[in-house]
Amino acid sequence: MTGARPCAAKKRRARERGGGVGGGGAAAEAAPRRERRPVEAAAGSMSWAPAAGRTLAALLLVASALSATLLAPGGSVERGPESAPPRDLDQKRRVELKMDQALLLVHNELLGTHLTVYWNSERCYHCLPQVLVNVSGSGGPGKLSTAVVAVSTQHRSILQLRDTAEDKEVCRLEYKFGEFGNYSLLVKHAHSGGSGTACDLVVNQNPVDSNLPVCIAFLVGLAVVIAVCFLRFLLSLDDFSNWISKAMSSRETDRLINSELGSPSRADQLGDDAQPEVWRPSAAPLRLRCVDTFRGLALILMVFVNYGGGKYWYFKHASWNGLTVADLVFPWFVFIMGTSIFLSMSSMLQRGCSKFRLLGKVAWRSFLLICIGIIVVNPNYCLGPLSWDKVRLPGVLQRLGVTYFVVAVLELLFTKPVPERGAWEGRCSSLQDIVSSWPQWLFILMLESIWLALTFFLPVPGCPTGYLGPGGIGDLGKYPNCTGGAAGYIDRLLLGEDHIYQHPSSTVLYHTRVAYDPEGILGTINSIVMAFLGVQAGKILLYYKEQTKDILIRFTAWCCFLGLISVALTKISENEGFIPVNKNLWSVSYVTTLSSFAFFILLILYPTVDVKGVWTGTPFFYPGMNSILVYVGHEVFRNYFPFQWRLQDNQSHKEHLIQNIVATALWVLIAYVLYKKKVFWKI
């Protein structure tokens, strides 16, 4: 989340730039290569009874011990002779590699022909090729002129070799380099004896499997889930349960005896007439665990990707169009916030709370969210003490605050009492959740019309009208200062360039030069639309309460309907559609796609968690019950031990992944303890 990177923004940006190739990049600095071992990391935990806390703590201890073992001396080794460049290269020409890089040696056998090697990533759409390295001509027959350079391994690379003097293409190739691999590109005359040129790519040293730690972490987590499910199955068997009860009966007897013969009980201290020490709160309305579970799932993924996600590219935001894991979590959180708005507001109105008092609570909560976002969770703290001259005004919590206020007020103004079962009869009974909200739908459609009109018809100085591109070197470098089109222009015009996000994800591949905020003003319109679709999910859950089949049918219908809209808008293409899926713009296709996914997740969670009770939602349920505390806490304490520590090898995906998994598991454990202590931070 771009709004959730207070002090690591500049460091992370520098690392990401080091992971790619562009500009005039040649040799890159990095740490020595390390020994590659499989990583076993605890990726999650589940609990099922009062022993859940001990289970979570045990899994956390296992993960911490495992990380300590892997970080112990001997986990990394210096680069040995087997990984060194060929002997004909002197020390000045050696290149040390960072993560997501490989070593490329370009050998030029062409006599007197100077070459310029251009590089591009297949994910960089319509980008200007960037100069990678220059190679001088061969000094004579049999003599090779060699240049050494680091290349990115995140995506498939496109290499183009051109004759520097005549500016003509010599050869072109596409290849997916592997991390820490060693490759040679030999440019020579074709064997046929003609004037043609051949470019042969040879693997000098095989790369490592950089995705192995993720696979192992996933398998470990899957094994834990299977083990817990199997244990739950055993506990459901009467014979096994009776055996466990008999085994524990002696301990329980000893505990009761010690309690009676030991120190006085709390009731004795309060007097003979005192009530038992167990305090039972008044009965609360039934909560849908699937909603809290979904919120917790989105939140835990958010914490993991904000902490770095092992520094893997698919756990970072997409550079422009397309989706990664990091692009899923924020819209899901917005969606489930909309669901909670309707459920909680309906509950409060049924308990007799006046609309005027509820409006005051909505306004106060929105104000607090915006203030926390600007003052507490602000990425400009990495530049020193917060200054109003450079403070970032948009952000994640700011957008949540505005979205919450608009959607909650909209529902408060037009909401109607939830009808009793059977109250809706006739041809509209199957659409009661939609028909009863026609004023809200009209307002949402008007908002979306405003987004479309501003996006595609607002004139932007120096840019084509309706531009949706990243600027920079995209679109062959024609519009370098047009990042985001109308969305970026509105933010710079109304907020000022110094008060928006300075390091957007588009800088990694597209080398954009202007500030752009993914949580800007225009995108907030579509976040409101996303939250309202979440409200629609809440209405389905409440209007068709205890009608599981009807609920599942409607979740399926919305999932398919929104999915078809996404297909039509994108043409099932990352870049060629009418409106591509784009998190930076919060495009309408992005909203419909992620909303379709959200309805699908509810389609799975509702019967699994609330109807059948097959899964309790553990461990995601606990952070879902304390979402604001976990989000703000993980941002404030992100650079503190034990959430972060000094790594032995900063260029190791393995070590970053262990650190990020342990930090995320810690927040799950904290949320569990707070849940058991009945501590909830509500604003």
The structure tokens listed for 44 are 């999650």
Chain CA centroid to CA 86, Å? 41
| Nearest CA-CA partner of 149 in 128, 133, 127 | 133
Q: β-strand 182-189 against 101-108: which pairing, if any?
A: parallel
- Residue 666, C-beta contacts closer than 8 angstroms, at least 6 positions apart: 60, 642, 643
- Burial of residue 359, with CB atoms counted within 10 A of its CB: 0-12 exposed, 13-18 middle, 19 or more buried: middle
Give me the residue label for tokens 């103004």: 413
The CA-based angle 376-378-381, given to 5 degrees, is 100
C-alpha 130: how far from chain center: 29
Q: Which residues are catalytic?
A: 317
Helix axes 289-306, 326-350, angle to 10 degrees: 150
Sort 678 into a burial class: Cβ within 10 Å, 0-12 / 13-18 / 19+.
exposed
Residue 389 and residue 455 in contact, taking contact as beta carbons nearer than 8 Å? no
Residues 539, 455: contact at Cβ < 8 Å? no
Residue type for position 430 = S
- Give the residue among 591, 327, 597, 595 at the shortest CA–CA distance from 452: 591
Distances (CA, A) of 417 to 338, 347, 432, 438, 535: 18, 10, 12, 14, 15
Q: Tokens 């501003």 label which residue? A: 454
Q: Which residue has the tokens 């710079």?
A: 492
Tokens of 403: 């979205």
Please return the burial class of 573, using the count of CB atoms within 10 Å of its CB with bins 0-12, 13-18 and 19+. exposed
CA geometry: angle at 342 spanning 340 and 343, to 5°? 65
